[in-house]
Structure 1
Amino acid sequence: MPGMTSARRIGRAVKRSRMRRAGESAYGLLLLLRQLVLAGVVALLVAAGLWASWHPAQQAMATGGRGTLTVADCSRERCTGSYAPSAPGAAPSDHVILEQALGAHQGTKVPVARGDGDEVVRAGWAGLLRACLPLGGALLLAAVVVAGGLRLRRTARVTGLLGLALLAAAALTM
């Protein structure tokens, strides 16, 4: 460019810098779009965990329809037995199903809340923590996305520890 006038050199430099800025802007837009998509994935994971936990948690914390399950038989998937309501005047049942493996022996009494039909769910803190298992798993998955995709290490660490604590608390109350 030795034979160029200074005005032509400046014109080319300005043109190059505009193109460079446009390229940088497009790259920045792609980075922003990536962050937004990954934040949406995290929000979707946590929302799905909350959705899956909501109905069982409501049943576990319900004050009406509480009683005691006397375990008659327990398999890996469910326990069956008789239901004795704690409210006076409510009808007992000889055969109810608890869709959770308790590892309980015959004759063990478990506090439950009456669900739909012959189904019951655990009541109290144990039932609430058991109902929140999907939320704990969703928090662990979200922590992986937050750490790897969003590059927010501290937030991912807190999210993962919350999910792990929820899963551990549920396992301890079983």
Structure 2
Amino acid sequence: MNLLLLGRRTVMGALAVLLLAAGVWASWGTARHVMLTEGRARGVMTVTGCGSDACVGSFASAAGTGGGEVPSRVVIDRSIAEKKGARIPVALKPDTREAVRTGGPGFLHAWLPLGGALLLASVVVAGGVRLPRTAWGMALTGGALLTSSFVTLAF
């Protein structure tokens, strides 16, 4: 019986770690461009129009950032910018016209997948590993991340 309990906890712990690793992996694709802006073209994007999943706009580079050719028009995810005329601080992904929002709101938005992974993993930790305090901490952290991202992007 003890061996089955140990096996269940081991499998559930591995599943929780897998969920968290997937959340970090999914977040890092965008977060690295937000957090590590050294050598990347940075500036301000002015939204000129939005489609179903992306917004386009003009890009004005900040003095002394990035190198090489900087595009005059860039694309950003629609969840970041939905109002025509909005001015958003952005960094460009290398060798693309794709922009990511920088600053606090961009940082929080980049880590949204990790917030969701924390919420999912908290259920596994609570039910499978039987660590309710740890699960509550994970759930509150994930919920706070999701909520703060929504609040900073909405207002």
Measured against the shorter chain, the TM-score band is 0.7 to 0.9
The match for 1:112 is 90
Structure 1: gaps (5+ residues): 1-26
In the superposition, the TM-score normalised over structure 2's length comes to 0.88
CA distance in 1, matches of 2:73, 2:44: 12
CA distance in 1, matches of 2:32, 2:144: 21
Where relative contact order (Cα < 8 A, 6+ residues apart) is larger, the structure is 2
CA distance in 1, matches of 2:2, 2:80: 53
Q: Describe the SS at the equivalent of 1:101.
A: coil
8 Å CA contact 1:65–1:87 kept in 2: the answer is no
Show the 5 A alignment for 1:24-103: 27-61=1-35, 62-63=37-38, 64-88=40-64, 91-103=69-81
Percentage identity across paired residues of the two chains: 45
Q: Which has the higher helix share?
A: 1
Structure 2: gaps (5+ residues): none
In the superposition, the TM-score normalised over structure 1's length comes to 0.79
In the alignment of these two chains, the number of paired residues is 148
8 Å CA contact 2:41–2:70 kept in 1: the answer is no
Give 1:93 shift: 2.7
Displaced runs of 4 or more, over 3 A = 88-92
Whichever of the two has the greater Rg, that structure is 1
C-alpha RMSD of matched pairs (Å): 1.7
CA distance in 2, matches of 1:104, 1:41: 36
